[in-house]
Amino acid sequence: MSQAKDNPLLDTSKLPRFSAIRAEHVVPALSTVLRENREKLEELVNDEQIPTWDNLIRPLELMEERLDRVWSPVSHLNSVVNNPDLREAYNTCLADLSAYSTELGQNSRLYEAFVEIEKREGPKLDTARSKLLENSLRDFRLAGVHLDLEKKARFKKVQQDLAALAARFEENVLDATNAFQKHITDQGMLAGLPEPTVARAREAALKQGQEGWLLSLDYPNYHAVLSYADREELRREFYTAWATRASDQGPDAGRWDNSEVIEDTLRLRHEVAQLLDYPNYAALSLATKMAKSTEQVLEFLEDLARRSHDIARLQVQELETLAGHTLEAWDLMYFAEKLKRERFQISDEILKSYFPVEKVLDGIFEVAQRLYGIHLAPREGVETWHEDVRYIDVLDAKGAPRGGLFMDLYARKNKRGGAWMDDCINRNGMQKPVQHPVAHLVCNFNPPTESHPSLLTHDDVVTLFHEFGHTLHHLLTVVDVPGVAGIHGVPWDAVELPSQFMENFAWQEEALPLISSHFQTGEPLPIDLFERLKGSRQFMGAMHMLRQLEFALFDMRLHSEYEPSLGGRVLEVIEQVRSEVSVITPPAFNRFSHSFSHVFAGGYAAGYYSYKWAEVLAADAFSAFEEQGIFNPEVAERMRSRILSLGGSVDAMEAFIAFRGRAPSLEPLLRQTGIESKAAAA
């Protein structure tokens, strides 16, 4: 008892006590909550009463909520202040958590009680409760709760095998990437490469006691060589190594070949789908998404491809004119980069001076206030995990608390890279007083130095708007049931709508004075510089679009057309997709599928289209603001009340239509990427 009382993770009465949490608290805290939850679950399913929302689902939601309150600080700290002890404790708990969630998902008595509640109370429940019930019933079935014992066992085995295959796929990609090294002794070979790339290569050579330069195949090097190396042979060599990683082609052909892993993965995914009575894995994937059917997704992608094709063709011609010859796959990025520099003459270095982080933040808060009437106010003295972290209170127009947010903006050692938003505390309106939501907003910007504040590139500014969009989705929710409040329960292909929507404000002339101010002179970004920056947003837009569509179509067709007797037909499907959409045919040795981790080792199987899908929604939502003024209060209020505040409690398509007054349209994204207007002129 006393031990539990002293464990700061189990104190969920206020904000997490970040500075008191230690690695040794993790396993005991999680075991305590899981034990208590299991006991409570036993009680609930053994209860003689007729199951109801109030006597079964409500307590279950509160149990989940408590588990979340205890686990959220752990997974957060593991990402932002990682250390070996914490990592070990975290990994130990992952297995326990996964076992617990499988138990819940396959608990047939619990499932039957949910079915009973659906029958008796279904029509009487409010929107949020009924949505949670609907999602729960779906998730029970997707966990195989209804299968007989033999099939349940097979289901479990296949899931484990799939997890192992995903891990092997990723290992092969990693090993193949690490194995490649280019040793250079002729300095001329480095012509065009950026200074930091060359310096790193020199250092790498010195470390191994070698002459000259050593270039590994990590992404920054690959990107630098393909974009800047003047020597075609170097670009070709890197392209070949990169595009054949973990395959039967290229410099390490057959050594870490993922061909079989891909075949096995596709076969087992198909089997899982069939076990759950879906015709194929694509249909299973779409069961939890906003898109309704494979046909709808394919039509969506093919339509975008058709409309981008001619412009992309023109863009290739432009590059070929500059190059003076037909382009090979390894020439594309190089000549695109060259043309971009010629045309826009902007550099991160110049732009950065106009975006000191404090100014950008003030501007973003001001945008949020103008749109949604909320006020963001920093609060001193809140316990955090690092001195750079700040806490912001979110107040409504009347000054009443609505929630808060932790911001951890700067890169440092032992912090995961990239940028993200995560929930710290969910809104819970099932208890009084209401528990307000709290978010984590994490980035990896350059910290301030002695001579100047932290200066952001424009990409960084866009990132900050993006993550702030997720944050607003989490914080503006008014839904009482945590499981469908904020970002919870929002389908994968709709969850990027609020974030990509907010990115647009980083590209508006009207927002410039709010977010930019030269850190020495205080003047906002000059308009001619802004115009060039804006022009660069659409640069090679159609080609970029087609490339993403090629990936998405390949992924969707691979999973929807799978036939056990024919196998994966990976190369055949790629070939077909390319013949339909590509403007440059990659060489026959290209095996991008073999390192396509999003689809074979990540969560994007039959879901890669989600990126484009959400982009269309975001651009279309923003076009409503463009029509009426980007700070128009009525449009903003509609965005808040129909989309942001409802989170996962309503059908995502219905919510969009309620906001926009019609189904999503492709035009705004095509305009945003410079495809539409140019298409009309061409």
Interacting residues toward Zn ion by CB under 5 A: 499
Kindly state the smallest distance separating residue 499's Cβ from Zn ion, in Å. Answer: 4
CA distance 490 to 653: 11
Cα 611 from chain centroid?
9
Based on CB atoms, which residue is closest to Zn ion, 481 or 643? 643
Based on CB atoms, which residue is closest to Zn ion, 258 or 610? 610
Based on CB atoms, which residue is closest to Zn ion, 51 or 498? 498
Based on CB atoms, which residue is closest to Zn ion, 246 or 405? 405
CA distance 624 to 157: 49
Q: Which of 63, 43, 62, 65 is nearest to 113 (CA)?
A: 43
Kindly state the smallest distance separating residue 472's Cβ from Zn ion, in Å. Answer: 12
Cα 196 from chain centroid?
29
- 249 token code pair: 């082609």
Based on CB atoms, which residue is closest to Zn ion, 499 or 645? 499
| DSSP codes, 134-183 | HHHHHHHHHTTTTS-HHHHHHHHHHHHHHHHHHHHHHHHHHHHHHH-EEE
CA distance 146 to 133: 17
Residue appearing with tokens 């929107």: 127
Based on CB atoms, which residue is closest to Zn ion, 226 or 405? 405
Based on CB atoms, which residue is closest to Zn ion, 499 or 590? 499
Kindly state the smallest distance separating residue 468's Cβ from Zn ion, in Å. Answer: 11
Measured between its terminal Cα atoms, the distance across the chain in Å is: 75
Residue appearing with tokens 């919870």: 488
CA distance 105 to 89: 25
CA distance 81 to 87: 10
Question: Cβ distance 294 to 283 under 8 Å?
Answer: yes
* Of 170, 467, 496, 503, catalytic: 467
- 547 token code pair: 């490339």
Kindly state the smallest distance separating residue 628's Cβ from Zn ion, in Å. Answer: 26
Q: Which of 110, 330, 139, 331 is nearest to 238 (CA)?
A: 330
CA distance 506 to 354: 13
The string over 391-430, giving b where at least 16 C-beta atoms fall within 10 Å of a residue's C-beta and e elsewhere, is bbbbbeeeeeebbbbbbbbbeeeebeeebebbbbbbbbbb
Kindly state the smallest distance separating residue 421's Cβ from Zn ion, in Å. Answer: 7
Q: What angle, rounded to 10 degrees, do the helices at 259-275 and 570-581 form?
A: 90
Kindly state the smallest distance separating residue 426's Cβ from Zn ion, in Å. Answer: 18
Based on CB atoms, which residue is closest to Zn ion, 285 or 499? 499
Based on CB atoms, which residue is closest to Zn ion, 197 or 499? 499
Neighbours of 530 (CB within 10 A): 20
Kindly state the smallest distance separating residue 442's Cβ from Zn ion, in Å. Answer: 12
Kindly state the smallest distance separating residue 267's Cβ from Zn ion, in Å. Answer: 32
Based on CB atoms, which residue is closest to Zn ion, 21 or 502? 502
Neighbours of 378 (CB within 10 A): 12
Q: Contacts by 111-116 with C-beta closer than 8 Å and gap 24+?
A: 111/137, 111/140, 111/145, 111/146, 113/45, 113/51, 113/56, 114/51, 114/56, 114/57, 114/140, 116/50, 116/51
The two most distant CA atoms of the chain are separated, in Å, by: 82
Kindly state the smallest distance separating residue 614's Cβ from Zn ion, in Å. Answer: 9
Compute the residue count for the chain: 682
Residue number of the CB atom closest to Zn ion? 499
Neighbours of 631 (CB within 10 A): 16
Kindly state the smallest distance separating residue 470's Cβ from Zn ion, in Å. Answer: 6
The verdict on whether 134 is a catalytic residue reads no
Residue appearing with tokens 């079964």: 56
Question: Cβ distance 423 to 57 under 8 Å?
Answer: no
**Helix extents (H) in 353-414:** 357-372
Based on CB atoms, which residue is closest to Zn ion, 68 or 422? 422
Kindly state the smallest distance separating residue 495's Cβ from Zn ion, in Å. Answer: 7
Burial label for 117, CB within 10 Å (0-12, 13-18, 19+), is: buried
Amino acid at 168: R
Dihedral angle, C-alpha 508, 511, 512, 514, nearest 10 °: -170
Question: Is the backbone of residue 414 left (phi > 0), alpha (psi -120 to 50) or beta?
Answer: left
CA distance 62 to 384: 26
Q: Which residues are catalytic?
A: 467
